[in-house]
Amino acid sequence: MRARSEYVKSAADNILRYYAKEASVGERMSANFSELAAFVAAAAARDVRTRGFFVGEVPFADYMPTVSAESATDGVLPENAALVGAKLAADEGAYLADFCRKTTAALRTAAKLRPSPALFAERDGVKNGGKVSFAESRVLTTAFAAFQKKDSSLTPTYVRSFADACEDVAAELSDYCILPIENSREGALLTVYGLIERYELFIARVCSLETDGIITKYALLCRGFRDIIESDGLQYVALRLSGHDKLLWPRLYTGACVLGAEIIKTVSIPLGYTDGYAHICTFAGSGEALFALLLFLATVRVDYTPMGAYEIIQ
């Protein structure tokens, strides 16, 4: 462990030295990141084989390089500091994202596993079937039928309201509930997101249905991460981002672009009169791209909570 820490510190020091001297950093920094990515993947693969999947705590924490755009703005004119900081943060996001992409590819080879967002989510154990609570209506019954096509062992339980459905899941009377989360007329349904926040529910699957010309997305929600749709196609990850780091967004936008993950939307919902807002971001991409994105967020020390990992059933 000591040798590993010393190696990572040395590599990170070299990266930071190049980064602080020049905004464009060039090939030397890329070479350091490539070397560090190969080392990280091999070491992390040993942890994967020893400890299994990443349940709860991510073992990459011991390997992450720490660089910061803030340290490179010393001596800049005050009126230019914000612009320079954003530019350097974007550069940092690109290089760290490339590091995470290389690490993910190397980890896939070294650990003989298919990286997916499931490895980063806290899991209650993979589960199939169970009771599904939802308010009895034509559209929600149709949504249930769409989810049941994926898992024929799901059974319906009818309740009076969205809140009652959430209460059933919170009280462990049902395994899942169904709520509409957005539509093409109103966008994100903030009241429903408020329920998801209040009951700490997790999006396991989503179906998209059209009714009277309006396309609505319905979520199958559970208490924790129980199941994930492993797909070779497009997947989605919903994250609640905490903190107000002004340099997070240039890092995040640039990093997502490098990784091939698309930012679908960002929803800000009020937490209370004095508690500020929660920022819920939805990303789309391949399972490997989204895995690399979560690794990237861990690398830049973003405080986030997974809210869902799913595919959309048409």
Q: Out of 136-145, 248-257, 289-298, give the one with best mean pLDDT.
A: 136-145
Read off the pTM. 0.79
- Alpha-carbon distances of 92 from 24, 85, 133, 247, 312, rounded to whole Å: 10, 10, 45, 10, 32
Residue 67 has pLDDT above 60, yes or no: no
Domains defined along the chain, listed by start: 2-121+231-313 (3.30.70.260), 130-222 (3.40.190.10)
Q: Which residue has the tokens 């490339």?
A: 98
pLDDT score, position 294? 87
Residue 310 host element (H or E): strand 304-310
pLDDT tens digits, one per residue of 182-194: 999 998 898 898 8
pLDDT tens digits, one per residue of 35-63: 777 777 777 777 666 655 453 455 555 66
pLDDT score, position 21? 54
3-state secondary structure of 268: strand
Confidence of residue 272 (pLDDT cuts 50, 70, 90): low
- Alpha-carbon distances of 273 from 187, 247, 269, 277, 305, rounded to whole Å: 23, 26, 12, 10, 22
Q: Which residue has the tokens 């990237």?
A: 296
Residue 23 has pLDDT above 70, yes or no: no
Contact 179, 169 (CB under 8 A): no
d(CA 45, CA 263): 29
pLDDT tens digits, one per residue of 70-110: 555 555 667 766 777 777 778 778 888 888 888 888 888 87
pLDDT score, position 302? 77
pLDDT tens digits, one per residue of 126-149: 566 789 999 999 999 999 999 999
